[in-house]
Amino acid sequence: MYIVMIASECAPVSKVGGLADVVDGLSRELSNKGHKVEVILPYYDCMKHPAVKDLQGNSVQVSVPCNGKEILSTVHRAAAHDNECFFIKPQSPERYFDRGVYYGKGDDDERFTVFSLSAIEFLLATGRRPDIIHCHDWQTAVIPVLLKNKYKHSALSETKTCYTIHNIWHQGKTTEKILKMVGIEPSAAAVKDNMTDDSDRAYINLMKGGIAYSDVVTTVSPKYAEETMTNQMGEGMQATLSKYSGKYTGIINGVDYDSWSPASDRHIPFNYDADTIEDKYKNKEYLRKKLSMKQDFKPIVSVVGRLDMQKGVHLIRHSLLYALNNGMQFILLGSSPDTEIDLYFHHLKSYLKDNHDCHICLGHDEELAHLIYAGADMILIPSLFEPCGLTQMIAMRYGTVPVVRSTGGLSDTVFDAEVSAKPAAERNGFSFDDFSYDAVSLALKRASMVWHEKPYTFREIMLTGMKTDYSWMASADKYISLYNKVSGKW
Ligand code: ADP
């Protein structure tokens, strides 16, 4: 099968969050399984150029009809992390992707719409006829809209579209101007119906259009698919998703085990696997030494992640103090663009500077993240919502037991050691339901008690996580089945 991924991010070249990991990991796994995969990305000035091979080598110019005139987009062909990529640079005075950042400019709607339109024109101009175009999040949601409207009689009319929602909070709410820009009449009855924002009818919603016009819609875990169809968590998209529930499904993301495996990880001093799990404790000792923490008979609870509302930042603050007061050590590695949150943790860090049961690292540190996964006993993820979540799956690979709030992908991947409908052999962590101090404290207390009083049971929980396969293998197969179903070819 011939699949073209069109997205605003792809690791390691242009990564802001989980979207980048999915585009990279899924594309590589599909190629490994023998499919032809090409990835189309914006040519950002700030992307990681060393991660791209031969970027300047091969390029074509494509003429793109936009806003009643023609603009030229240059498309560079290059390889990134084994993916065959095309980087699009529109040559317009706006210099859409020369902004020094990936997102956050007032004209993001225009930037990514011009990118999406250029991607379609590139496919047409170069005679590419993929079986599937796979689009991601609001940034490329206009592609299915264009293919089913303006381009419905083009050479891409047979191509099917798959649209993946990575986070329902960002929907691409914009004005009719964006549709007019790409040659779609917003007042046409069907377009109006399919794209008017349900919460504010003065706006156009790009994600809603992507859902309505795609042949199949996915999100990144089965539980999140359910949650996004509810009034509580649908963020205004619940009616649309419920209407299209027949073509909407959740597929859990995979972990890239080339980067995340304790047996081969070059960032950790002592490699280990399920058979040599004792060596995990050498990493624990090393981690404590590196962070000037006390060597003591205590479990280390860790947090690795963005410090924001989604991640349950106030529960993280509470848990840190709860852990220290209840016989546990705590390591926090996190960053926050929110100055108030950042300041709070800086104050907490200086308040706790003499406490050798605790270490707070504020910022992004890839190497330390690997070491924490290897050296900690538990990872805490008390998210308000979590479309999929990677850290729990990475941690489990390293024998680090997740303590999570049961929501979205966390609920699909973490099964409580003591209270779960799953058989004992599948129980791999600790979970709680309420988004409250009491609930997270109780979960930490239970995990700590098992660690102290039932070390054999704790070891079994660790091993269950280590042995479970969260690689892209199975998830890529699920995407292939969907592609097959919609293309009707295989
Ligand atoms: P998100 O919602 O941010 O996409 P995920 O759990 O899906 O959360 O993925 C987070 C990824 O980013 C993981 O690979 C995690 O190791 C990494 N990460 C998060 N914060 C940091 C940090 N401060 N330093 C290093 N790596 C981090």
State in Å: Cα 138 to ligand 1 middle: 21
364 Cβ closer than 6 Å to some ligand 1 atom = yes
Residue 489 has a pLDDT of: 66
Quote the CA–CA distance of 66 and 63 in Å, as a whole number. 9
State in Å: Cα 442 to ligand 1 middle: 25
State in Å: Cα 193 to ligand 1 middle: 37
State in Å: Cα 391 to ligand 1 middle: 7
Residue labelled with tokens 């999570």 = 404
In this chain, the answer to whether the domains covering 2-254+473-487 and 274-470 adopt an identical fold is yes
Q: Which residues of the chain have pLDDT under 70?
A: 489-490
Residue 474 has a pLDDT of: 93
11 Cβ closer than 6 Å to some ligand 1 atom = no
Fold designation for 274-470: Rossmann fold (3.40.50)
The residue whose C-alpha atom lies closest to atom 12 belonging to ligand 1 is 305
365 Cβ closer than 6 Å to some ligand 1 atom = yes
390 Cβ closer than 6 Å to some ligand 1 atom = yes
Pocket test for ligand 1, best of 306, 331, 341, 385 (most atoms within 8 A of CB): 306
Specify the CATH class of 2-254+473-487 in words: alpha beta
pTM: 0.94
409 Cβ closer than 6 Å to some ligand 1 atom = no
Domain boundaries in the chain? 2-254+473-487, 274-470
The residue whose C-alpha atom lies closest to atom 21 belonging to ligand 1 is 305
Pocket test for ligand 1, best of 9, 304, 362, 470 (most atoms within 8 A of CB): 304
State in Å: Cα 389 to ligand 1 middle: 9
342 Cβ closer than 6 Å to some ligand 1 atom = no
How far from the centroid of its chain's Cα atoms is residue 467's Cα? Answer: 23
- Residue 310 CA: nearest ligand 1 atom is 2
- Residue 17 CA: nearest ligand 1 atom is 4
The residue whose C-alpha atom lies closest to atom 24 belonging to ligand 1 is 364
170 Cβ closer than 6 Å to some ligand 1 atom = no
State in Å: Cα 188 to ligand 1 middle: 42
State in Å: Cα 369 to ligand 1 middle: 9
State in Å: Cα 334 to ligand 1 middle: 8
The residue whose C-alpha atom lies closest to atom 17 belonging to ligand 1 is 305
